[in-house]
């Protein structure tokens, strides 16, 4: 009986030892795997950090080259180098990281030292407004009227009509600053261009009727001041046929004897 108990204890001890060794082995394997995973994470982190530094340095050097060529470190958002590098996109990314506090003080310092701006869009908008305003002044000085035709281009190719139309849309949306509104209005710029043009043509039609007895001018007719009344009247007829003339305007013209089927 005593020997049997001893044998059972030995067997039990062997089994327990195997279980313990398996547990130890599992733990060792787990720790080894975890250590390996951590090493991989650290290595990947180092690689990513190195790649980020390389990308920053490349963008920085491209910015330096751009400044040397143009005199300005700040490229347009759509700018690509001759080699196809998306410099504008890279610069926009740096501005985004700067706003989020994710750009290191060293990188901020390097960029600022070469004249890089963090709020370039606002500054560009001010420059664009000033350019359009000055061109509007030139147009007024040469014609007496600051309001250019919609498709008008300056001799240098500046699309003044397009710029003025853009300011009108911005004004109607409430996105034009009080200072910009004041400056434009002070030189006679009008927001309701189409209304003004119609009123001008209508008044010239009344004058023509007063002098001839007939409001319907020939298609080629110009007033002594050079207003193309015949052309304006034909435009009203075309708008009428296309259903683009308001009932109020139709009524105003018909009341003075204007004909649609001339």
Residue 201 pLDDT > 70: yes
In 3-state terms the chain splits into helix, strand, coil percentages (rounded to 5) of 70, 0, 30
Q: State whether 6 and 109 are in the same domain.
A: yes
User: How would you class 156 by CB atoms within 10 Å of its CB: exposed for 0-12, middle for 13-18, buried for 19 or more?
Assistant: exposed
Q: State whether 15 and 91 are in the same domain.
A: yes
The string of pLDDT tens digits covering residues 133-170 is: 999 999 889 888 788 877 888 898 888 988 888 888 88
Helices 193-212 and 247-255 cross at an angle (nearest 10°) of 10
Residue 128 pLDDT > 60: yes
The residue written with tokens 């180098």 in the block is 81
Domain total of the chain: 3
Q: State whether 18 and 100 are in the same domain.
A: yes
The string of pLDDT tens digits covering residues 89-119 is: 999 999 999 999 999 999 999 999 999 988 8
Q: State whether 26 and 107 are in the same domain.
A: yes
The string of pLDDT tens digits covering residues 18-30 is: 655 666 677 666 6
> How far is Cα 204 from Cα 141, in angstroms, rounded to an integer?
24
Q: State whether 35 and 74 are in the same domain.
A: yes
Q: Decide which of 162 and 37 is more confident.
A: 162
Residue 6 pLDDT > 90: no
Q: Tell me the whole-structure pTM to 2 decimals.
A: 0.41
Do the Cβ atoms of 117 and 76 come closer than 8 Å?
Answer: no
Domain range spanning residue 139? Answer: 120-186
Q: Where is the domain boundary, 113, 129, 152? A: 113
Q: Where is the domain boundary, 92, 113, 134? A: 113
Q: State whether 172 and 150 are in the same domain.
A: yes
Within-domain flag for 261: no
User: Which of 172, 65, 185, 87 shows the shortest CA–CA distance to 136?
Assistant: 185
Q: State whether 102 and 18 are in the same domain.
A: yes
């Amino acid at each position: 009986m005593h020997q049997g108990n001893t044998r059972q204890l030995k067997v039990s001890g062997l089994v327990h030892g195997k279980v313990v060794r398996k547990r130890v082995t599992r733990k060792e394997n787990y720790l080894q795997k975890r250590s390996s995973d951590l090493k991989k994470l650290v290595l990947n982190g180092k690689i990513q950090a190195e790649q980020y530094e390389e990308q920053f340095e490349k963008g920085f050097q491209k910015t330096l080259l751009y400044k040397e060529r143009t005199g300005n470190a700040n490229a347009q958002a759509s700018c690509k180098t001759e080699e196809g590098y998306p410099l504008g996109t890279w610069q926009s990314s740096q501005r985004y990281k700067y706003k989020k506090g994710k750009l290191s003080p060293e990188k901020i310092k390097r960029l600022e030292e070469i004249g890089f701006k963090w709020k370039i869009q606002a500054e560009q908008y001010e420059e664009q407004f000033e350019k359009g305003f000055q061109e509007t002044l030139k147009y007024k000085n040469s014609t007496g009227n600051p309001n250019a035709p919609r498709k008008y281009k300056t001799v240098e190719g500046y699309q003044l009509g397009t710029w003025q139309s853009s300011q009108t849309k911005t004004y109607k949306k409430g996105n034009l600053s009080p200072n910009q509104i004041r400056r434009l209005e002070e030189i006679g710029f009008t927001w309701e261009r189409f209304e003004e043009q119609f009123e001008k043509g209508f008044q010239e039609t009344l004058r023509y009727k007063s002098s001839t007895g007939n409001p319907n001018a020939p298609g080629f007719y110009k007033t002594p001041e050079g207003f193309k009344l015949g052309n304006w009247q034909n435009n009203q007829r075309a708008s009428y046929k296309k259903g683009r003339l308001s009932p109020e305007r139709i009524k105003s013209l018909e009341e003075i004897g204007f004909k649609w089927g001339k």
